[in-house]
Amino acid sequence: MKDIQMLHGALRLVQINAGLKPDERALIVCDTENLDRAKALAYAVKSVGAEYSVCIMEPRSTHGEDPTDAISKAMLGADVIFAPTRFSLSHSNARIAANENGARFISMPDYTDDMLKGGALDADFLEIYKLVKKMQQILTDAEKIHVTTEAGTDIWLNAKGRIGNEVSGVCRVPGTWGSPPNIEVNVSPIENETQGIVVIDGSIPMPEIGVVSSPVTLRIEDGRITEFKGGAEAEKFRELLKGNENPNNLVLAEFGIGLNDKAELKGSMLEDEGAYGTCHFGFGHNADQGGVNNATVHIDGVYRNPDVEIDGKKIIEKGRCIV
C-alpha cells in the first residue's frame, strides 16, 4: 500500500459500513486500476481478524456490466464483498445474485486515494440512517412529486405505488448493499407520466463529464427526454445515453435525494449523488430499483438547491430537508 493514510477510510468501510466480524469471509473484487485501494481494504479486513480473498479483473466497459464468470461464482461464497472498480457493479446480475445468497455488498466505483483519506467517508452513517429511513417512507407514500430550482428545473413526477429505496451506506444485514460515501433515498417514478424541464447545474458523474461547466437543460415529455440544450456537455450526455440505439435509455427512471452532509460535488458518482443539498435524476435502467424500464445504461444528473413538494407538502427547501 503506497499511502498509509488510505487505511483511515478502509477501516471505516470495514468496521462501520460493513460491520465485518472476525469469523466472516470478505471478498475484495477489484480491477487493475484499483490495486492500491484493494490493498488498503485487505489491511483493514486483516486488522479485524477476518479472512479475505482478492479477485482482480480487467476494468468493465460501463456501469452494471458483470464481472468475470469466475468472480461472479466467488461472490456467492462471501459474507461481505468490497468492490473498488472503475465502473459500478451495483446493477450487475452478479451483485443481485450475491445479495440473494446473503452477502453484504459495498460498491466502490471510481474511488480515488483521497476518498479513502477522509471527507465524505467521515459522515456519521449510523446517525444519518435515521433520516434515511424517514425519507424512504416519505417516498414510498408519495404520489405527486414537484421539483423546482432557481436554475430552471420545473418538473412533475408520479410515484404512486412505487417503493422508496434506501442507499444508506450501512450494510450490516445479510442481503443488503450500499455505495458509501453515497447516502441517498430514491424512487422510480411511473415511467411515461413525467413532464417538465430538468436543469442539471451540478454534475453528470461520468468520467467524460463530471462537474458541469454550464447547465445542461433537458425537456421531458411523457417520461422521456425529447430535447437537450447546453453546448458540448449536453451533446456528450446525449452520446453517453445512446438513445438512438435504445430509446429506453432516455426515460427518466429515478428521483434521488442526497443526504451525506460531508459530501461535495467533485464529479465522483458516489460522492455527488449523496451530497446533502442536492437531488438527482437517473436516466435509463430502473428495473432493479422498483421500476419497469429495461435499458442498457443508467446515468444520473445532479442539481443543486432544489425545492421538493410531495402531495402538496414541501419536504425540501433550497436543498435542506425540513421534515
The arithmetic mean of pLDDT across residues 133-151, rounded, is 98
Between CA 287 and CA 161 the distance in angstroms is 15
Give 1's pLDDT tier (boundaries 50, 70, 90).
low
Query: What is the secondary structure of 220-285 as a DSSP string?
Result: EETTEEEEEESTHHHHHHHHHHTTTT-GGGGBEEEEEEE-BTT---SS-HHHHHHBTTEEEEEEE-
199/212 Cα distance (integer angstroms): 11
Q: How far apart are CA 279 and CA 56, in angstroms?
A: 34
**What is the pairing mode between strands 195-200 and 216-221?**
antiparallel
> What are 227's three cell numbers?
430535447
Q: What is the pLDDT of residue 90?
A: 86
Same domain as 203, residue 85? no
CA distance 298 to 63: 7
pLDDT of residue 77: 96
Query: Which of 87, 90, 61 lies closest to 75, judged by CA?
Result: 90
Query: Does residue 62 share a domain with residue 210?
Result: no
Q: Is the pTM of this model over 0.85?
A: yes
> Which of 56, 91, 118 is the last residue in one of the domains?
118
Q: Provide the pLDDT for residue 2.
A: 62
Alpha carbon distance 155, 149 (integer Å):
10
The reply to whether 80 and 150 lie within a common domain is no
Please, which pLDDT band fits residue 130 given cuts at 50, 70 and 90? Answer: very high
Task: Choose among 320, 313, 318, 7: nearest CA to 138.
Answer: 313
Average pLDDT, the chain: 95
- Return the C-alpha cell found at 260: 451525506
HSE-up of residue 129 (Cα within 13 Å, Cβ side): 13
Same domain, 56 and 172: no
Q: Which of 70, 87, 118 is the last residue of a domain?
A: 118
Q: How far is 131 from 183, CA to CA, in rounded Å?
A: 10
Distance CA 316, CA 314 (A): 6
Q: 99, 118, 137 — which closes off a domain? A: 118
Question: What is the mean predicted confidence (pLDDT) over 143-165?
Answer: 98
pLDDT of residue 269: 86
Cα(75)–Cα(98) distance, integer angstroms: 6
Residues 138, 64, single domain; the answer is no
Domain CATH code at residue 13: 3.40.1830.10
φ, ψ of residue 223 in degrees (nearest 5): 85, 0
Residues 84 and 191 grouped into a single domain: no
pLDDT at 43: 96
Question: What's the pLDDT at 248?
Answer: 97
* Distance separating alpha carbons of residues 87 and 97, to the nearest angstrom: 18
**Cis bond before residue 109 (omega within 30° of 0):** no
Q: Identify whether residues 138 and 96 lie together within a single domain.
A: no
**How large a percentage of the chain has pLDDT more than 70?**
99
Higher pLDDT, 131 or 62: 131
Pair type for strands 25-31 and 80-83: parallel
**Same structural domain, 129 and 147:** yes
| Average confidence (pLDDT) over 89-112 | 93
| Domain identity same for 195 and 237 | yes
Same domain assignment for residues 176 and 253: yes
pLDDT at residue 254 tops 80 = yes
Domain total in the chain: 2
Is there a single domain that holds both residue 238 and residue 276?
Answer: yes
- CA–CA dist 107, 88 (Å, integer): 7
Which residues constitute the domain of residue 224?
A: 124-321
Out of 56-60, 181-185, 294-298, 312-316, which region has the weakest mean confidence (pLDDT)?
Answer: 294-298
CA distance 43 to 206: 29
112 and 193 in a common domain: no
Q: Write the pLDDT tens digit of every residue in 195-249.
A: 999 999 999 999 899 999 999 999 999 999 999 999 999 999 999 999 999 999 9
Largest CA distance in the chain: 54
